Structure 1
Amino acid sequence: MSGPGFEPTTGPETEAPNWKEEVLQGGSLPRVELENGVNGWASPPGNSFHVRGPNYLVKKQKVPAGDWLLKPLGVDWVKSSSKLDHVLGRPDNRVMSALKRAIHDGKVSNAFIFAVNLQVPGREPHSAIFYYVTEDPIPPGSLFDRFIREDDNFRNSRFKIVNHIVKGPWIVKATVGNYAACLLGKALTCRYMRGQNYLEIDVDIGSSALASAICHLALGYTSCVTVDMGFLVESQEEQELPEKILGAVRIAQMEMGSAARVDSFVTDEREKVSGEAGSRFQRSKLGRGLSMLKNGHQKSLCKTGKVEAEEVEAEAK
């Protein structure tokens, strides 16, 4: 990413022959090695996550997730003067621009992009945007197909994140949970943007005081934390099991200051997209150990020295 927007300025002679490779090579957060990468993202194996197995409704057993359904396209870590909504609807978005060029040039005929935009509140709002793609037809009637086509009430009841802290200080593991799962659609306000060949989910972390406090605490330790995150549609009926990860990402010791700045303008394209923001507001205990954070400061050490977390005022329920 370069310049004021998402898309770098390149000439025809510098275009990658494969649109997906072009996207993977871009982005404000670079791709790094899985085991020892720093300040970047990588693709963790699906089996690093445990999800609901085929007998979960009877035996409550979870199993290794296996391969993800969608291929990773990269990560953008950006900041702006105001919250960034509907990034795939922006004319400068590098992912959609690359796909549109590929479609125009006849290099791809069928592709669907799934994006999750985690909106971090603050004086300068930040966004961590995760992109995934499939060029295979989505099976009609599948759980993912239903998630794309159903209304926001259905989506809110199913949109789920699972995470695993690979490396980090005890305070982060205790707060977020070393292994944790959360229905984001119920815990936070989620806004779903459905386009012709994409679905974007904007997750407003600032919609929950508790989640916002936990997020700001964790951000104080990002340079010494490596976390795996997987996004999925929760299986709630027997015929939907076992669960499958839509897409996964490892964020490795990210530097807060590495966020690229983008303009915070709004496009008319957003009004053409169906779907409404989820209206539910619920506080959720996103991990264990929240009682340690009530009304005070916490300190810890990471390799780079002492880090003092922000004051947290939250009620753990």
Structure 2
Amino acid sequence: MSPKEWDDLKQSDLKKSLTLPCCNERAVAKTSSLGTQFFAHYRNSEDCISKPESKEHLRLKAIVSSAAESAGWTVTTEYIGHSENGDKWIADVYCTKGKTKIALEIQLSSQTSKELNARHRSYVESGVRDAWFMKDSVYVNSGHSSIKSFPRFQVKHFMDDKATPQMSNYPLTVAQFVDTLLNGGLVWKEDTDEHVLYYMKSKCWKCKTDLNIPIGLGDTACSNFDNFIKTVPNCSNFYESLLAQVGNSDLERFGLTTIGAHPIKGNAPNFPYCVKCTSCQAPQTNAYTLRNYHQWSTNVGRDYHHIVLSNYSHNGRYELTALSKVK
């Protein structure tokens, strides 16, 4: 609707008959401070599974849905679906064309990798492809976009109503990127190689759970290229790089600790990346990890535990292939 049509709706008698699909409660037409036109609950419903959304989330959802519709897809926002297991899910922007179904998700609030993976699995079980638009910190803690079947992308400049939301790693606006994504303008590229991922046995400082903590990467062809954690800042750099190369989903699959950005005491300023306990999710500070590594390596010498990553994609990424399609 145009702004005038929207204002007319707010003043008309029709507004009293509008209901929300999530819970059938009465809907209220509103306009956010960023200029987004949206519906809100007239009153809270205890049975509603929908959650409140920030003005930035609403703005990005409006941009994404409009771009998807312009790209020729049938679009429904806040679409409710069910997986084969009966789990209910709500897609921010649900796009269909023929038999193809895609959910485009806006994720600006923090969420654990376990929660994200569960939501992703619900889409997989429902025969729906999903792609995620995340702010930087959420993107980093989700394990980056190093999984072909679980694409995640960074967005920026969405807080300012005077700025056009952009993609962080692509020279495109969010609207242009959605058009490119839905029109086949992205392709997965990967470089394969064989690496050794070294890890040590440790315990969580908080709950005392046994942990397998990554401590280094190497090349199976020559140990001269082995790279181990050295200093507190270097720990953060190592874990940030490992997160980009391997990702938290595979670290969990290997039985290793996952990685996140936690600017806490025990991590050097501006070097927040560290491992997390697999049980209680408590961050293991890099000072604590490095001290344990020095003690542990003294006892075991160079006979480190390791995993061989055969033909592992250490530079997996989505690349643009059809900029000519961008409007």
TMscore range, shorter length: under 0.3
Structure with the higher strand share, 1 or 2: 2
Normalising by structure 2, we get a TM-score of 0.25
Higher RCO, 1 vs 2 (CA within 8 Å, ≥6 residues apart): 1
Normalising by structure 1, we get a TM-score of 0.26
Which of 1 and 2 has greater Rg?
2
